[in-house]
Amino acid sequence: MDYFILGIVFIIYFLMVGYVGYLAWKRTNSSEDFMVAGRQTHPYIMALSYGATFISTAAIVGFGGVAGKYGMGILWLAFLNILIGIFIAFVFFGKRTRKMGKNLGSLTFPEFLGRRFDSKFLQFFSGVLIFCAMPIYAAVVLIGAARFMESSLMLDFNVALLVLAIVICGYVLFGGLRGVMYTDALQGSIMFIGMLILLVFIYWVLGGVTEANTALTNMAHLYPADALAEGGTGWTSFPKFASPFWWSLVTTTIMGVGIGALAQPQLAVRFMTVKSDKELHRSLLIGAIFIFVMTGSAYVVGSLCNVYFYQNFGQIAIDFVGGNMDSIIPTFISTALPEWFVYIFLLSLLAAAMSTLSSQYHTQGTALGHDIADAFKNRGHSEGFTDEELKTSATTKETRIGFISISQLGILIAVVLSLIIGLSLPGSIVALGTSLFMGLCAAAFLPVYCAALFWKRATKQGALAGLFAGTFTSLFLLVFVFKKTATGLGICKFIFGVDMLINTMPWYTIDVMIFAIPVSAIVLVVVSLLTQPMDEKILNRSFKGLDDGAK
């Protein structure tokens, strides 16, 4: 590898990122600019920012690695990503979130929920949940990018983690969401080009689409023994119905990420950054194409790595990389592709990691600086929001400690937490960590988010009860029932002397989201129906312009 050329490529890339971040910093003059990019974002920037935040190294390295070991069944996730994560999210959730967020003067996702249900505690608890849970997701994204830098640049894994965190922290700290979205658009464009080249290359090197897919099908006898024991049938076929592998693939990987995307705070806030529904309509097609290319390419390439490694080295992918799924895609890139493409793909992977991480750090920072800090600042005041608070929130300056705001302090804390967790997590963790975080968000927020947008009869008490029920049901199942996390944490073993409380198939293989979302929804509905409806003034304020088609 020519490190001189690589250095030049990196310098040019970081200069571009730095310049875009500088432009964002120059245009960030208020809390509204820092948190929702001034609500004037261009459709292309919004679509690329949404897509680049959605698709990270977790999709490319983590889920690409899952496809490398288990096969193309994961392509159903790409379908759900487009159907739910783009179409339903933009058309049904995005429009109402944009309009309602503007009506309420919301700057963050927790604040959106809090103001909709007139509850400062709901905003506070949502902020705490995001700030405490998201570092795990940020850590696995960091790991994905660092693994590629480790295999392609021969860079120490720990050093790679540190360098990535410092660079991303810089432009998020000062540019806010505007800086995040501007750099996302740049990085998303690089990611798109890199993944297209990668998809074309692997089919070219394997002799064509038909030849490559046929070769993979004919390798079914080489399928990993542990995957066969769990119900797998081959790289180009779906696992046996109701087998442990089927339950894990369908509920955790496909549904957990596919449905979980609807309730991701860092994605939902993107809808508040455009000025009208017209921009959302224009963003839809761009976002769908981006997601289709990024996810489809990663999953196909991951599966076909088995053909390449077997034909050239006599081993399937998971054996060639020593059992770490997170290393399959990075190893293929550094082994099979020309040196010039390693540079391009390294930039693509860095862009994927930086775009997602910047959004995560920004979301955690605003959760601390805007949602949690406000609760302490206003303790002793009324539980609901006054008209004056609703009018002035968008221009209120952030509380500062010395020369930085609490939101910026939150970003720094988030970076440190993700580094610590990233250094301590085991291998093959990227895809699982992503699935679990998205599943937790779906269980905690999705029923409440849906009720906020579509059901006027939902009450503050119902929303709080649903949020608590979804959150604590998820945590209980993760610690005491779901096998992958219960055995890893060891808390159940320590307390009860068994790895998990339920040792009967299929219960310990079903993702916690499948149980927690219905529990949350039922509790929300029942409590709402048993409590007094919300004040008409609050409902009219929230739903103004939504029922009459106004823009």
Comparing C-alpha atoms, which of 131, 100, 95 is closest to residue 113? 100
The token duo for 38 is 């001034």
- 247: exposed, middle or buried (C-beta count within 10 Å: 0-12, 13-18, 19+)? buried
Comparing C-alpha atoms, which of 373, 397, 350 is closest to residue 57? 350
Domain coordinates in residue numbering, the chain? 3-202+257-294+325-389+416-443, 457-533
pLDDT single digits (tens) 327-365: 888 888 888 888 777 777 777 777 777 777 777 787 888
pLDDT score for 532:
93
Count of residues making up the chain:
551
pLDDT score for 140:
76
pLDDT score for 3:
64
The token duo for 129 is 């949940």
pLDDT score for 397:
47
Comparing C-alpha atoms, which of 171, 35, 188, 31 is closest to residue 109? 35
In whole angstroms, what is the distance from residue 330 CA to residue 57 CA?
11
In whole angstroms, what is the distance from residue 510 CA to residue 17 CA?
41
pLDDT score for 433:
66
Comparing C-alpha atoms, which of 257, 262, 334, 312 is closest to residue 66? 257
In whole angstroms, what is the distance from residue 253 CA to residue 496 CA?
29
Q: How far apart, in Å, do the first and last CA atoms of the chain sit? A: 54
pLDDT score for 403:
41
3-state secondary structure of 281: helix
Residue ranges of E strands in 344-478: 400-401, 404-405
Name the one residue in this structure whose structure tokens are 């310990």: 508
pLDDT score for 308:
94
In whole angstroms, what is the distance from residue 528 CA to residue 314 CA?
61
Annotate 328-345 with b (16+ C-beta within 10 A) or e (fewer): bbbbbbbbbbeeebbbbb
Q: Which residues touch 288 (CB under 8 Å, ≥6 apart)?
A: 82, 86, 87
Low-confidence stretches of the chain (pLDDT < 50) are: 394-397, 400-404, 549-551
- φ, ψ (nearest 5 deg) of residue 256: -60, -45
pLDDT score for 171:
58
pLDDT score for 518:
95
In whole angstroms, what is the distance from residue 63 CA to residue 54 CA?
13
pLDDT score for 382:
57
pLDDT score for 218:
93
Annotate 183-219 with b (16+ C-beta within 10 A) or e (fewer): bbbbbbbbbbebbebbbebbbeebeeeeebbebbeeb
- Does residue 506 have a cis bond before it (omega within 30 degrees)? yes
Comparing C-alpha atoms, which of 241, 358, 286, 294 is closest to residue 81? 294
Fill in the DSSP letter of residue 88.
I
Q: Which residues touch 466 (CB under 8 Å, ≥6 apart)?
A: 447, 448, 451, 520, 521, 523, 524, 527
Pairing relationship of beta strands 400-401 and 404-405 according to DSSP bridges: antiparallel
Q: What angle do CA 376, 379, 382 make, to 5 degrees?
A: 140
In whole angstroms, what is the distance from residue 274 CA to residue 18 CA?
24
Asked whether the beta carbons of 326 and 430 are under 8 A apart, the reply is yes
pLDDT score for 396:
45
Comparing C-alpha atoms, which of 355, 356, 361 is closest to residue 407? 361
Annotate 271-307 with b (16+ C-beta within 10 A) or e (fewer): bbbbeebebbebbbebbbebbbbbbbbbbbbbbbbbb
Q: What angle do CA 87, 475, 469 make, to 5 degrees?
A: 70
In whole angstroms, what is the distance from residue 255 CA to residue 411 CA?
30
Comparing C-alpha atoms, which of 237, 233, 210, 257 is closest to residue 80? 257
Comparing C-alpha atoms, which of 486, 400, 396, 387 is closest to residue 436? 486
In whole angstroms, what is the distance from residue 411 CA to residue 495 CA?
35
In whole angstroms, what is the distance from residue 34 CA to residue 404 CA?
13
Asked whether the beta carbons of 263 and 441 are under 8 A apart, the reply is yes
